[in-house]
């Protein structure tokens, strides 16, 4: 097995994603653009998107990372719009886009057109949420986009399976399709509910951080595999387990949380970079299989489908936003939305790697094994152009659109004030607990050490309030920034001395690593107090 193409893919995509952070272009768009450019270079190997790898091996960890970073409470508060997008919109887009393609392309069976509709129905909100955080969208819109991306893949994959069964001649019926959808959805939730408590119990009772992080890496794959084994939705099972673990993460020891955060950030960075690069690198594979659909005819189909995909999302989002407000109960409970929020949600419907992976899983032949699947190459081509079109057109215009609409920015002063009040309450509880403990003879400490505990607690309490203070008139830094900079300078000076002592053989490498780790933890603590 030649591993060099895989190594080049991972290394190249990671380097491009890192470089994108220095540009105004979102990383997913730059990765796709570079992938497209590289795919045309002679000698570049083909990177075929294997759905048997993408869906079970790449999708679970990406979903797990997104779900653990999400807020269960926020998602529950936005359950109606999230459900309307992740279930209602996906089914709506499947039928609308499929029916439109059926009308546009001569001799295309309706069942095959619905297969394509299911393929391009789920938006990939990775790029959209990255942009939303970058430009400071209101948290409600960001939560809705995140929640949609967590669950819409399950709806799309189930709709695809039902449409595919009808297209290949396996005798699927509407009643059977609805039953399969309900089985997948309910089954995925049940599998997630069954697995989440035992996994969390292991995480809280096994005290070895390395084992706990190994368990963390295996969790999304186990949840996905178990659910798929019983013909339930692996996507929903992964999301349910991850939301529960993220909500209860505070019960896990600090060493596990620190390691887990670093490990999953690295995993998500590598996988997200690689999958978006793969989208661009698929161009030669798709073009070679286009067959008779070339030139102006293929371009017309691509443009028409893109316009239908975009229009269908607007056609769903606005009614789904305003029609529920016919209920007096909803009007009393929720503030009246403006047209701006739904417009951004509708425009943020970029498609991604899941659509391509599902498209490549379309079989070559029908159920009889002899007749080819109708217009398979055209479906692959239109999937590719839809993904590229939405990423480029909508992805590039989303940041300026958000700035043009002038959404109210986040109130950082109010957020810092809330953080300071929360820290003050926690500090008072910690002081009371310390006083209780020091009255016990078993906890006797010399006065300097007891004072040190109080000083650390006071520093933690004051650090947040200091962020509300005035900036230094000379440097422009806040008191908080100056404290962090000086702390790092002092730690850097200590670090240099330790290295010199190691080089002089006064201490060995093992002792150097111990001392450096202690400094690293202090530097991380100083950064976290003020970050």
471 beta partners? 478
State how far the alpha carbon of 129 is from the alpha carbons of 55, 86, 149, 458, in Å.
21, 15, 9, 37
Looking at the predicted structure, is the pLDDT value of residue 409 above 80? no
Q: Does 529 score more than 60 pLDDT?
A: no
pLDDT for residue 380 is more than 90: no
Lowest mean pLDDT among 24-28, 129-133, 460-464: 129-133
* Higher local confidence (pLDDT), 353 or 506: 506
pLDDT score recorded for residue 118: 94
Q: Mean pLDDT, the chain, as a whole number? A: 83
* pLDDT at position 95: 95
CA dist., res. 221 & res. 242, Å (int): 11
Q: What average pLDDT does range 394-409 have in this prediction?
A: 81
Whether 150 and 63 have beta carbons less than 8 Å apart is answered as yes
Question: How many CB atoms within 10 Å of residue 368?
Answer: 8
pTM across the whole model? 0.83
How high is the pLDDT of residue 142?
84
**In this predicted model, what pLDDT tens digit does every residue of 20-72 receive, in sequence order?**
878 877 777 788 888 888 888 887 777 777 777 778 888 899 889 888 888 88
Cα–Cα distance measured from residue 32 to residue 281, given in angstroms and rounded to the nearest whole number: 8
Residue 89 DSSP one-character state:
I
Confidence (pLDDT) at 417: 78
Tell me the pLDDT band of 1, cut-offs 50, 70 and 90: very low
Domain 4-405 matching CATH 1.10.3720.10: the answer reads no
pLDDT at 466 over 90: no
Share of the chain above pLDDT 90, in %: 23
Which DSSP letter does residue 140 get?
H
* pLDDT score of 175 more than 70: no
């Amino acid at each position: 097995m030649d591993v060099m193409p895989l190594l080049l893919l991972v290394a190249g995509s990671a380097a491009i994603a890192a470089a994108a952070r220095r540009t105004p272009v979102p990383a997913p768009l730059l990765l796709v653009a570079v992938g497209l450019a590289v795919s045309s270079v002679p000698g570049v190997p083909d990177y075929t998107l294997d759905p048997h790898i993408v869906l079970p091996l790449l999708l679970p960890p990406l979903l797990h990372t997104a779900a653990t970073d999400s807020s269960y409470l926020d998602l529950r508060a936005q359950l109606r719009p999230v459900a309307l997008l992740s279930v209602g919109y996906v089914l709506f887009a499947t039928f609308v886009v499929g029916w439109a393609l059926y009308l546009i392309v001569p001799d295309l069976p309706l069942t095959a057109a619905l297969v394509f509709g299911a393929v391009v129905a789920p938006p990939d909100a990775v790029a959209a949420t990255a942009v939303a955080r970058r430009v400071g969208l209101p948290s409600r819109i960001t939560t809705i986009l995140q929640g949609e991306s967590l669950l819409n893949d399950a709806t799309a994959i189930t709709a695809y399976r039902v449409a595919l069964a009808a297209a290949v001649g396996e005798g699927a019926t509407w009643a059977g399709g609805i039953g399969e959808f309900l089985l997948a959805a309910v089954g995925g939730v049940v599998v997630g509910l069954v697995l989440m408590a035992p996994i969390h119990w292991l995480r809280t009772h096994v005290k070895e951080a390395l084992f706990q992080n190994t368990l963390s890496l295996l969790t999304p794959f186990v949840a996905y595999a178990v659910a798929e084994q019983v013909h339930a939705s692996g996507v929903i099972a992964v999301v349910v387990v991850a939301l529960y673990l993220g909500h209860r993460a505070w019960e896990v020891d600090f060493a596990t949380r620190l390691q887990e955060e670093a490990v999953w950030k690295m995993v998500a960075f590598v996988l997200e970079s690689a999958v978006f690069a793969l989208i661009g690198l698929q161009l030669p594979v798709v073009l070679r299989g286009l067959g008779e659909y070339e030139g102006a005819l293929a371009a017309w189909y691509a443009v028409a489908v893109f316009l239908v995909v975009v229009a269908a999302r607007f056609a769903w989002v606005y009614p789904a936003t305003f029609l529920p407000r016919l209920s007096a109960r909803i009007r009393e409970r929720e503030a009246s939305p403006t047209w701006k929020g739904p417009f951004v949600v509708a425009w943020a419907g970029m498609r991604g790697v899941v659509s391509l992976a599902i498209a490549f899983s379309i079989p070559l032949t029908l159920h009889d094994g002899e007749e080819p699947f109708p217009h398979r190459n055209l479906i692959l081509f239109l999937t590719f152009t839809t993904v590229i079109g939405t990423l480029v057109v909508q992805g590039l215009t989303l940041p300026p659109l958000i700035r043009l609409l002038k959404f109210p920015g986040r109130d950082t002063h109010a957020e810092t004030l809330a953080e300071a009040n929360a820290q003050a309450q926690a500090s008072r509880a910690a002081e009371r607990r310390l006083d209780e403990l020091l009255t016990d003879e078993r906890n006797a400490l010399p006065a300097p050490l007891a004072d040190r505990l109080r000083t650390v607690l006071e520093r933690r309490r004051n650090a947040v309030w200091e962020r509300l203070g005035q900036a230094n008139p000379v440097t422009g830094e806040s008191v908080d920034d100056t404290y962090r900079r000086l702390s790092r300078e002092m730690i850097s000076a200590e670090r240099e001395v330790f290295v010199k002592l190691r080089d002089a053989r006064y201490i060995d490498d093992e002792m150097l690593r111990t001392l450096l780790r202690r400094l690293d933890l202090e530097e991380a603590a100083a950064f976290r107090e003020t970050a």
